Amino acid sequence: MSIPTLVSINPATKKTIGSVQVSPTNQLPPIFERAQKATASWSNMRLTQRSQILRLVRKKLVAHMDELSELIASETGKTNWEGFLEVFTTVEHLRHISRSGPEYLRAEHRSSGIFLHKKCYVNYIPHGVVGIISPWNYPLILTATPVVEALMAGNTVVLKPSELTPLTGKRMGELFHEAGVPEDALQVVHGFGDVGAAIVDSTHTDMICFTGSVDVGRKIAIACAEKLKPLVLELGGKDPMVVLEDANLERAAGAAVWGGFSNCGQTCISAERIYVVESVADKFIGLVKTKTKELNVGPDKTNSDVGALVSKQQQEVVMAHIKEAVNGGADILSGGEDLSAVGGYFIKPTVLEVYDESSNIMTHETFGPEICIMRVKDAEDAIKKANASSYGLSASVFTKDKKRGQKIAKKIQAGSVCVNDVMTNYITADLPFGGVGISGIGRVHGPEGLRSFCQTQAVLVNRFGLKREPWWYPISKRTKKLFKTVTKIIYG
């Protein structure tokens, strides 16, 4: 029987760029077994040895920077600059993980409380085999960073990249191996959802890290719940941006346009809902319109600012959201046109002023080159509207009063908040990343993220060679009385 292939198509030109063989689910068990066998030697390496190999991986990716940027751009339809930004972000994360990993994963002293004759600490122990399932929108960052965290923590990995971007995942795997990651410590398999589901269901995978849609994330959570398998879910978002009356409007408008249109709006932390205080709304909207109209869109990967959407299906979802919003009374301030005529799945960057909070474009992830602006009375109104969503991935607040911005950040229900910035939190490798609400469970990045890939083992060591503890059998009346007296003295 011939093995089916996955064909990778450039969404900006609709031309085929290559293919990979699908990994049939009945051929996965030996792959899982090899991953499990490899855990012994990989996890027994010293932390500094693993971090040294990951340093070499970083250097390898930099040496292949242009090739990777070009490949990412071809598979996703984004521009070469955006492809490069993926490589840049990935190597920044690699640098951080290989530098700070040994410190974050070292055994950590803990207080033994009143038990001065005990020593307490925590071990961060790898789970074993981690199944990593990744999406197409950032095929290098969202694949490489969880892989590197899992490996740094001492796990081996079975990775399934998205069926839309298999070539980037395949090439990444090759470069990791060339840099010294053992073949069985990182194995890349290809296919559709059934291959992902087989990774989740396998008795050989000890943890799952999934990045993708809420619908698939929910299925994976149910499958993991059945097996009580630990998981991290990095899911979708509908991020709010709050622009207050004292904001630097030039900066806020620039952030809205970059936060809304970079990667053709296909970023989980894209600024999709913008709440601007009425008194500055006209000026802010004017600036956003001007900046949006200056953007070049099209298949010229070198000179365009905004590339293609990943597929016809994605293009249809975005156009449907825009159409429904307009039918419901929203005004198109810029763009709104389907640009398929230029060859690929393009949409002109679109700015809408919306008045109805219940339309799909305000409640569901659109994941395209569109930003929706809504006028609000004041900061309180903006916070209320920002929080009126089941998603809670990231958010941003623009105000010249940084203290006020930080106070507002605390009131917004989101895994990350930027004050006077947008999306940069993701590039900042020491900050944990993840969502609240339906945007996900658990964290990647930073010490919290690295430790997600570990079991936390508490260790208590008795310091002295006493024959027994006073609370062991037999317990004398005197001991019971003494404990009560001590309890009153210490805690009363």
User: Which one of 45-53, 131-139, 339-347, 482-490 is the stretch in contact with ligand NAD (CB under 6 A)?
Assistant: 131-139
Site membership for ligand NAD, residue 213 (CB under 6 A) = yes
Does residue 272 have an active-site annotation?
no
Which CB atom, from 60 or from 96, has the smaller least distance to ligand NAD? 96
> Shortest approach of ligand NAD to residue 431 CB, angstroms?
13
Q: Which residue has the CB atom at the shortest distance from ligand NAD?
A: 196
Site membership for ligand NAD, residue 78 (CB under 6 A) = no
- Nearest-angstrom CA–CA distance, 412 and 71: 37
User: Which one of 175-183, 229-237, 350-358, 455-463 is the stretch in contact with ligand NAD (CB under 6 A)?
Assistant: 229-237
Site membership for ligand NAD, residue 211 (CB under 6 A) = yes
Strand ranges of the sheet holding 108-110, from the earlier edge strand across to the other edge: 108-110, 118-126, 454-462
Does residue 268 have an active-site annotation?
yes
Residue 200 in tokens: 């989740």
Site membership for ligand NAD, residue 227 (CB under 6 A) = no
- Nearest-angstrom CA–CA distance, 38 and 21: 24
Please return the burial class of 456, using the count of CB atoms within 10 Å of its CB with bins 0-12, 13-18 and 19+: exposed
Which CB atom, from 69 or from 205, has the smaller least distance to ligand NAD? 205
User: Which one of 24-32, 61-69, 234-242, 333-341 is the stretch in contact with ligand NAD (CB under 6 A)?
Assistant: 234-242
212-239 as b/e: b if 16+ CB within 10 A: bebebbeebbeebeeeebbbbbbbbbbb
Which CB atom, from 193 or from 329, has the smaller least distance to ligand NAD? 193
> Shortest approach of ligand NAD to residue 269 CB, angstroms?
7
> Shortest approach of ligand NAD to residue 151 CB, angstroms?
19
Catalytic residue among 75, 86, 234, 353: 234
User: Which one of 99-107, 210-218, 396-404, 462-470 is the stretch in contact with ligand NAD (CB under 6 A)?
Assistant: 210-218
CA 467 vs. chain centroid, Å, equals 52
- Nearest-angstrom CA–CA distance, 181 and 172: 11
Site membership for ligand NAD, residue 425 (CB under 6 A) = no
Residue 228 in tokens: 């009580």
- Nearest-angstrom CA–CA distance, 138 and 82: 9
State the first-to-last Cα distance of the chain, in angstroms, to the nearest integer.
76
Site membership for ligand NAD, residue 236 (CB under 6 A) = yes
Enter the DSSP assignment of 377.
S
Cα-based distances in Å from 438 to 39, 227, 451: 33, 21, 22
Which CB atom, from 77 or from 196, has the smaller least distance to ligand NAD? 196
Q: How many residues bind ligand NAD, per CB under 6 A?
A: 30
Among 4, 103, 192, 487, binds ligand NAD (CB under 6 A): 192
Host H or E run for residue 362: helix 360-363
Q: Please check whether residue 53 is in contact with residue 181, taking contact to mean a CB–CB distance below 8 angstroms.
A: yes
Catalytic residue among 268, 372, 418, 454: 268
Residues recognised as catalytic: 234, 268
Chain contacts with ligand NAD (rule: CB under 6 A): 133-137, 142, 160, 162-163, 192-193, 196-197, 200, 211-213, 216, 219-220, 234-237, 268, 365, 367, 393, 435, 440
